[in-house]
Structure 1
């Protein structure tokens, strides 16, 4: 194939090089100088895509030293900041495993899109936008703010990075949220017509008494006869809990599409957010009266049902691993119902 003529576009420092593999002429902004008696050169390839106007813009960007390839890589990146925080024994030695796991989730989310970005470029408006985007899950939103603030302060105070004002300052938290509402019986009954993933997830949460994510990601191998192995996510600890007969029967009859009860494929579980999305769509179909209920409310309903069955606080904690304060709070809900029933029945 005959080599085509070199483009006639000429400018100072604009050089054309023939790319044999692609059989095209490629433009470079090339500058040479002598330093310490040696010839030095810096060349930036211009992705002009055959467009003279684009080439002109790229050329003058290089002439001004503003082309992205002329910028020194950022040293104060989110990756460097998070790595330093994770490796600092002064920090890690003060945190519980559950707290570390909570921070780890948020930090992985930050790294996913911002690992090599300069921390100093984060703005308050960007923080507000990210916080608002998580408004449907206010606890998660506020935890995100807390994580960003923690990292920023660590970089400024422990690494002596010139970060300036913390961009989370002045961004209002959603604040302490009310406790999750236990599901009413009519909503539990409505599960009969829910999508299979929602129905299965709800059954697992209610009958194991565990946090939604821990219940949703249970394996068939976690069930062994009368017992089940459950994960306390907060403390990153596994416990052996007695498995109720109804749940044993459910697991025995469940179709096996993989290692997990809620399987994405043979080796992976359905993600919590995929199940949550399906749940919210089903909940929306139930109308406004269902809007305040979330999957976590089934865990609270489990406490109430155990209390109504006559279980002691210690027994409820052995099943759900909830704090004594939380068990007492929801036991009171159960006690009020029982007392009101007794009182109203006396009227007749």
Structure 2
């Protein structure tokens, strides 16, 4: 038998093992994990340290309370079977989305911050955003009440958008007040207005996305990146900011400020403007970008190329702009003619 074996290594019947010892419920437990027989080989060293450090898949504890277990249990329940076909279809769509990235993760890894981020990401489709939160909340309640899992419901207490009108474009007076906003709020507003992106995508923009007259923007829903012209006002604003890291709105040298941080600062600033500012959100700036482009005479195709908005959304806000343009033109004509018939 070889002497001076590495710590925790044992040889049984001529085979090499890693001996794991632990205490469970006051009882001593042990497990032998097979290792390559050639102790001097690179393969042995690699596997030995993987087992010892706990990174080897063979010794990682089996994840418990996973989304896979939860969704499977819920789909087997009488409650699920009693759902209307349309409701079940909507639930299934969202549960499949959860499955894509989280099937074998513990439900405990789902944080409130992550849920708020998803909710904000789909704010332009409030019903879709609310469905996601409601289904996650329902699943976690099912886990707590029916399965007896010792977890917290991260979706509990998250305010839903509910039934509402489309986001209102900001009025001119509120845009002018941006000079009084905290820098991160002003920067977010300039990025949203200048790029036409959703607030979260704009807030996460890196400095290297701006290259002279061009910038690379991202559509969060499709995860599509594309290059568009960068307006002079936005270029000038970006150039005026001190470089403090990789991101335009940075948390530190290498990380961006999150949407929640910026949105919280925005709400505090909005409150300082009084009640008349209450109806407006960061998402309304993206709508204002469409209105401005329409008022400037851009075609629907040009507006879509800049903002990547749907044709329906562009048409909706173009009508808002068209009414303003036509009413202004009408009054101007009346003033020129003196109201003569």
* Pairwise TM-score range, normalised by the shorter structure: 0.5 to 0.7
Q: Which residue of 2 is the match for residue 242 of structure 1? A: 229
1:335 and 2:322 correspond: yes
Q: Which residue of 1 is the match for residue 183 of structure 2? A: 196
The answer to whether the 8 Å contact 1:142/1:175 transfers is no
Query: Pairwise mapping of residues 148-297 of structure 1 onto structure 2 (< 5 A)?
Result: 148=137, 175-297=162-284
- Going from structure 1 to structure 2, the CA distance change for 1:304 and 1:110 (only over 3 Å counts) comes to farther
The answer to whether the 8 Å contact 2:184/2:262 transfers is yes
Q: Which residue of 2 is the match for residue 143 of structure 1? A: 132
Q: Which residue of 1 is the match for residue 84 of structure 2? A: none
Task: Report SS of the residue matched to 2:270.
Answer: helix
| Structure index of larger Rg | 1
Q: Which residue of 1 is the match for residue 79 of structure 2? A: none
- Going from structure 1 to structure 2, the CA distance change for 1:207 and 1:269 (only over 3 Å counts) comes to same
Query: 1:173 Cα deviation (Å)?
Result: 7.3
- Going from structure 1 to structure 2, the CA distance change for 1:233 and 1:174 (only over 3 Å counts) comes to closer
Q: What root-mean-square deviation, in Å, do the aligned CA atoms of Structure 1 and Structure 2 show?
A: 4.2
Query: 1:342 Cα deviation (Å)?
Result: 1.5
- Going from structure 1 to structure 2, the CA distance change for 1:257 and 1:302 (only over 3 Å counts) comes to same
Instruction: Provide the C-alpha distance between the structure 2 equivalents of 1:312 and 1:284, rounded to a whole number of angstroms.
Output: 36
TM-score, length of structure 1 as denominator length: 0.59
Instruction: Provide the C-alpha distance between the structure 1 equivalents of 2:181 and 2:132, rounded to a whole number of angstroms.
Output: 31
Instruction: Provide the C-alpha distance between the structure 2 equivalents of 1:109 and 1:329, rounded to a whole number of angstroms.
Output: 42
- Going from structure 1 to structure 2, the CA distance change for 1:75 and 1:278 (only over 3 Å counts) comes to closer
Instruction: Provide the C-alpha distance between the structure 2 equivalents of 1:189 and 1:102, rounded to a whole number of angstroms.
Output: 45
Query: 1:152 Cα deviation (Å)?
Result: 9.2
1:324 and 2:311 correspond: yes
Task: Report SS of the residue matched to 1:238.
Answer: strand
Task: Report SS of the residue matched to 2:246.
Answer: coil
User: Which runs of 5 or more residues in structure 2 are unaligned?
Assistant: 1-23, 28-60, 74-88, 336-341
